[in-house]
Amino acid sequence: MAQGKALVLDVRDPSELAANGKIAGAVNVSRGMLEFRADPESPYHDPAFDRNRTLILYCASGGRSALAGKTLQDLGDSDVRNLGAFKEWAENGGSVEQA
């Protein structure tokens, strides 16, 4: 991630970030906005979504990130990974920042 080769993507809602923080350096795009931000043809496209980067997704429990990963693969991203649950990350000492 520090080298720009991976994008860590938090697909939780903004209220969840406000309450619990996020993985340090992660980009938040709620699951409902993902297609708009990831699709290069969308007027809302976020240039952080680069098909040459590894995408590492997480959410509260792993379910939304799994669905989001499938969506990103359908949009043409090939290296998509599911980190799983934010809570497990935080409880195991992963770096967290307040949103």
Domains and CATH numbers, the chain: 6-97 (3.40.250.10)
In terms of DSSP bridges, do strands 22-23 and 96-97 run parallel, antiparallel, or are they unpaired?
antiparallel
User: Which residues make beta-bridge pairs with 54?
Assistant: 6
Hey, what are 19's tokens? 């309450």
CB atoms within 10 A of CB 34: 22
The pLDDT of residue 37: 96
Backbone angles phi, psi at 18, to 5 degrees: -60, -35
The pLDDT of residue 43: 96
The pLDDT of residue 52: 87
The pLDDT of residue 29: 96
- Compute mean pLDDT per 10 residues along the chain, 99 residues long, and list them: 87 96 95 95 94 95 96 94 96 92
